[in-house]
Structure 1
Amino acid sequence: MTNSVHQPKIERAAVIALLREHGITPTQQRVEIGCLLFGGHQHISADQVLTRLSGGRRGVSKATVYNTLGLFAEKGLLREVVVDPTKMFFDTNLDPHHHLYHIESGVLEDIEAADVTINRMPTLPDAFDVAGVDVIIRVKPAAR
């Protein structure tokens, strides 16, 4: 399992190129957010993005952060991981994998896809194919 709690580094030019490849206009705010996100695999919430950007005194509004993260997810640059109805992470790891969520600490970790076996799937209507399966295992400290 991997947990990414570091500040990745990526050059602005690489972020601009990545955004353009995905049909996204590289505004200053989008590039700032991209620089924060795309240097490596990490799980990050919109509030964490806002806090990290505010720490650098960059003028990016909460609405811009939420809209940009939503756009990045829509364009396939991020995965949205909803761990409960009030908590969503954005995951920069686009490879097939699952997650382990630590309820008390709020930490989200990757689990390799090969480490989870699903023995049976429901029968789908004829007009549908499976697009993906996301498993989130929620854990808490064991009762003593």
Structure 2
Amino acid sequence: MRQIYELVLHCSATPEGRDYTVDDITRWHKARGFDTIGYHYVVYRNGEVHVGRPEYVQGAHVRGHNRNSIGVCYIGGCAEDGKTPKDTRTPEQKEALTKLLRGLRRKYPEAKIFGHRDFDKHKACPSFDASGEYKDL
């Protein structure tokens, strides 16, 4: 079993109001040379949580931190122009993310919650301060 110390939140960096799936992200990641989707979980706009990679498989979502982390991605993160970072989480996504992260924290009590941008200052992902918002989970 992998030792998990970080739960890293991402956005799909897609335009607000548009739906994308695990299959879409898998295609994008394979086009970049990944074996499959890099995230362990993807939260759709309607709040559904879908599995990407199994938790026991190392992710491919944040350089230098994949070995001991779980990657969670929500669909959205950009304004309608598809470029400007924006917190586009729906109420359903916010509820699902809180529930998912709370469950992961119970499973991995040593894990701290971060946003991708906490590890890469050139990224806005996930378009909000995840470590601050979820610090009390």
TM over 0.5: no
Larger radius of gyration: 1
Q: Using CA pairs below 8 Å that are at least 6 residues apart, which structure has the higher relative contact order?
A: 2
- TM-score (norm. length: structure 1): 0.30
